[in-house]
Amino acid sequence: MQVIKNTVVSIHYSLKTINDVLIQDTAGYSPEIYLHGAGNILAGLEEALNGKMAGDEAEVLIHPSEAFGEREDHLLIQINNEDLPDLDNLQTGDLIQLPDGREGVLLEKNNDFSVVDTNHPLAGETLVYHLSIVDIRPATEDEIQAGTPLQESKSCS
């Protein structure tokens, strides 16, 4: 069976940056499972898997525009220190939650304000997936309606 819209696909993968920094690897774990064509995974990755068969392996290069976008300067924000609880316990590089619910990385602590990067951590990165397709099966009507496999659901991102 081929990977086509409305198939449930199980894959193993390793994800690295173009500079060979390992981000994630499913070796030794259960494969990731997604519903093809439902937007459950990165668009560039889904497109690369179209037409593949169980047992196929592939290396897929995904540019920022097909992944997490380019880094955007306007997502570097200044926030008043009084709006950051426990600032004294935070270090630069820490992932923090902002009062509006966004997350970001604390870049700089000043006397009155701090600078937080709210870009996705992989924004601006070209990603390299090494993939192995483990299994493909037709999705059930319930899965198609739900937009996700109804067994353990994970995303490749």
112 phi and psi angles, rounded to 5 deg? -110, -25
| Dist CA 135 CA 54 (whole Å) | 5
pLDDT digits (tens, 9 = 90+) for 86-127: 888 899 999 998 888 899 999 999 999 999 999 999 999 999
Q: What is the pLDDT of residues 18-71, one digit of tens each?
A: 999 999 999 999 999 999 999 999 988 999 999 999 999 999 999 998 889 999
State the pTM of this model: 0.77
